[in-house]
């Protein structure tokens, strides 16, 4: 009977180790997503690659705290894109003297930093 319980314990340890490794991997991808999105504020490629990473890893993160981070990143991207486009209108009307679109960039940076800090604390984002 001790062999069976030892075998069960080993299997449980392996499952726990796999879950820990998966969580650590997801955490790193979420962190990469935040970094790429912040890089996107100065280079469009960061936005695109960050969005792709978030969409690809979202299903893998289902049921974990990291799911909320990938969802936060994708929603933030699409809302920022909308606000950026809408705020370009008054910027163009003032011939660029008042860069209203910067409001969207500041809002986006705030969301990425907030998400990254919550990720570091091991907490979900709303």
List the structure tokens of 22. 């998966």
Contact criterion met (CB below 8 Å) for 83 and 104: yes
Domain layout of the chain by residue ranges:
26-120
Average pLDDT, the chain: 89
Contact criterion met (CB below 8 Å) for 76 and 92: no
**Distance between CA atoms of residues 37 and 46, nearest Å:** 5
**Distance between CA atoms of residues 56 and 46, nearest Å:** 15
> What pLDDT shows up at residue 2?
45
- The arithmetic mean of pLDDT across residues 54-64, rounded, is 95
List the structure tokens of 100. 């209203």
In this predicted model, what pLDDT tens digit does every residue of 14-26 receive, in sequence order?
766 767 888 999 9
**Is residue 47 over pLDDT 70?**
yes
Long-range residue pairs from 103-107, CB within 8 A, at least 24 positions apart, any chain: 104/80, 105/41, 105/80, 107/80, 107/83
Higher-scoring residue by pLDDT: 4, 68 = 68
**Distance between CA atoms of residues 102 and 108, nearest Å:** 10
Q: Categorize the per-residue pLDDT at 8 as very low, low, confident or very high, splitting at 50, 70 and 90.
A: low
Residue 53 CB contacts under 8 Å (≥ 6 apart), including other chains: 29, 32, 33, 36
**Is residue 116 over pLDDT 80?**
yes
> What pLDDT shows up at residue 11?
64
Nearest Cα neighbor of 67 from 10, 116, 27, 40 is: 27
Q: Categorize the per-residue pLDDT at 3 as very low, low, confident or very high, splitting at 50, 70 and 90.
A: very low
Percentage, residues of the chain above pLDDT 90: 65
- The arithmetic mean of pLDDT across residues 35-44, rounded, is 95
Please state the length of the chain.
Answer: 126
**Distance between CA atoms of residues 70 and 66, nearest Å:** 6
């Amino acid at each position: 009977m001790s062999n069976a319980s030892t075998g069960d314990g080993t299997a449980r340890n392996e499952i726990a180790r796999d879950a820990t490794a998966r969580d650590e991997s997801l955490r790193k991808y979420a962190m990469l997503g935040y970094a790429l999105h912040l890089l996107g504020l100065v280079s469009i490629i960061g936005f695109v690659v960050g969005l792709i990473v978030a969409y690809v890893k979202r299903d893998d993160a289902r049921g974990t705290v990291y799911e909320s981070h990938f969802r936060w990143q994708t929603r933030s991207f699409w809302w920022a894109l909308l606000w950026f486009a809408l705020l370009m209108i008054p910027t163009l009307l003032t011939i660029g003297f008042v860069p209203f679109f910067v409001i969207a960039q500041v809002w986006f940076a705030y969301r990425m930093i907030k998400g990254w800090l919550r990720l570091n604390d091991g907490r979900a984002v709303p």
